[in-house]
Structure 1
Amino acid sequence: MNSTWFRRFTTVVGGGPRLVCFPHAGGSATAYKELTQALPPHFDVLCVQYPGRQDRFREEPFTSMAALVEAVAEELARDIAVPGGRPYALFGHSMGSLVAFETARVLARRQLPGPQRLFLSGRGGPETDSAPYHLYDDDDVLADVRRLGGTEQGMLDDPDILELVMPALRGDYSALGTYSWSGGAPLDVPVTALTGDSDPMMTVGDAHTWEPYTTGEFAVKVFSGGHFYLFDHLDGVAAAVTEGMLLTEGAAS
């Protein structure tokens, strides 16, 4: 696959179903490197690299959710969401959940083959969070990132690294803050919502708010921990994804 948008962290391309992973605000494709390696090797795991970070740091980050989603959907339509292609699923964490969900909606509107399952982690449904993130200044953004925790906290104390990551964070927070639910029919796609039981951004009840947005099977998986619970439960998250992916693979056969 010749695309600047996707990264693989395995040396062998699995011949089974594909899983496309969407990172959190300020995050990069490498956020999913360890999860990729915890999943069965026959899965083909692709991790989305948004513009404005790591090897794409010279590109302007998106500041609009709609524009980001359209761009991602266009990339998926080239190689993944194609007639006769292998089954695939989308996994998103935090902001990535919203990007994954809206991308599936764009593909449905285009009548392209959609994902056979959505894994939506660390965020409630599209109407649960209306914080004015686009009005945050840099100090507000950094305070929010520190509040949510995660494995990259040390970077926030390095001025040189901070200079590199702030444009992506500003763009992502702008995209989140200006997003609003536009309405529409629920997706006919099974959904697995995942959450930590002490996430400062959402409650376990918020995970259930995804249910009205699908007519397919719906399940909630709860793990101990905060917003970035998945880094502490790689085996458990991998097991939940594997369960859903095998159902996807079986449904497609």
Structure 2
Amino acid sequence: MDAQQRRWFLREPSPDAKMLLLAMPYSGCGASMYKAWPLTVGDAEVVPIQHPFRENRMREPHFGTYQDVTKAMLDDIGDLVTARPWAVFGHCGGALPAFETVVQAGERGLPPPHQCFMSSQVAPQDGPWGRFLGLDEDGLRAEIAGLLAAMGAGAAQAEELVDLFIDTMEADVAANRVYWRPAGTVQCPITGIGWDADVEVPHGLMTGWPQWAPYEKVLLSGTHYSFLEAPPSLLQVLADRLTAG
């Protein structure tokens, strides 16, 4: 794997993995947000994707749009990650580049993913949606502090880190605001994951996904940030659908 490919990963996928689960970062965050997740779920190795303009790629410019970052990623690692069964997971803002990966993989004639997991996000034709999209800088700073707390940062540490996250969050939210696709078709099943106490993207809004592919909806107990902790209920949903055999 060359440096151009390696930059998309915090850790390189194992050549022995039966399946890869590409996990996309949440708005404002990098791949390390999946630090509480196990290395494998079912038959799949969890592979957090590292987008530019965050963490070890902070010196790189922001990607601009989800379409652009997906094109760049697939140019570099498309053949690598689709050479075996693969799947995608994304939550809220992270679900959008995850789904765009599915769409563009199909447009390129790459093998379709085994499964697409969309957590707390409306279908592209119903977007953009989310309270974050209407927040000013002060509002986003408050949300970042809450996100950092959910990721395990203490109050003092979270306050210090907000300045490091704000530019990334603002740019990611801008990408979210302009992402839209008309309803179409993708060649993989979609599992929509809603959370019963999620007030950011209520699960009742996730009604547009069946227009794209065979669809199932799963409702889990938790808030908007519960996925960060990799709760057993979420891991079971993923594991039950990630079988390479």
User: TM-score if structure 2 supplies the norm length?
Assistant: 0.85
Deviations 1:52-78 (A, max 9, x none): 111111111223222122122223314
Which residue, out of 106, 113, 118, partners 1:108?
A: 106
- Residues 66 and 75 (structure 1), Cα distance of their counterparts in 2 relative to 1, 3 Å cut: same
Match of 2:237 in 1: 240
Supply the distance in 2 between the matched residues of 1:233 and 1:92 (Cα, whole angstroms).
Answer: 13
How far the C-alpha of 1:29 sits from its partner, in A, is 0.7
- Residues 231 and 164 (structure 1), Cα distance of their counterparts in 2 relative to 1, 3 Å cut: closer
Which residue, out of 22, 25, 30, partners 2:24?
A: 22
List runs of 5+ in structure 1 lacking aligned partners: none
Q: Structure 1 vs Structure 2: percent identity of aligned residues? A: 24
Supply the distance in 1 between the matched residues of 2:210 and 2:97 (Cα, whole angstroms).
Answer: 17
Letter matched to residue 86 of structure 2: Y
CA contact (8 A) 2:19 2:45 kept: yes
Q: Does 1:5 pair with 2:3?
A: no
Q: Does 1:69 pair with 2:74?
A: no
- Residues 127 and 236 (structure 1), Cα distance of their counterparts in 2 relative to 1, 3 Å cut: same
Match of 1:175 in 2: 175
CA contact (8 A) 1:193 1:207 kept: yes
Supply the distance in 2 between the matched residues of 1:141 and 1:199 (Cα, whole angstroms).
Answer: 18
Match of 2:221 in 1: 224
- Residues 168 and 32 (structure 1), Cα distance of their counterparts in 2 relative to 1, 3 Å cut: same
RMSD over aligned Cα, in angstroms?
2.6
Deviations 1:152-209 (A, max 9, x none): 6645411xx222212211110110112222x252112111111211111222222343
Deviations 1:89-110 (A, max 9, x none): 1111111111111111111111
SS in 2 for 1:109: helix
CA contact (8 A) 1:196 1:227 kept: yes
How far the C-alpha of 1:232 sits from its partner, in A, is 4.5
CA contact (8 A) 1:61 1:167 kept: no
- Residues 37 and 107 (structure 1), Cα distance of their counterparts in 2 relative to 1, 3 Å cut: closer
How far the C-alpha of 1:143 sits from its partner, in A, is 3.8
User: TM-score if structure 1 supplies the norm length?
Assistant: 0.82
Letter matched to residue 172 of structure 1: D
Supply the distance in 2 between the matched residues of 1:171 and 1:14 (Cα, whole angstroms).
Answer: 36
How far the C-alpha of 1:233 sits from its partner, in A, is 5.0
CA contact (8 A) 1:20 1:90 kept: yes
Supply the distance in 1 between the matched residues of 2:159 and 2:81 (Cα, whole angstroms).
Answer: 39
Supply the distance in 2 between the matched residues of 1:204 and 1:131 (Cα, whole angstroms).
Answer: 12
Q: Which runs of 4+ in 1 moved over 6 A?
A: 132-135
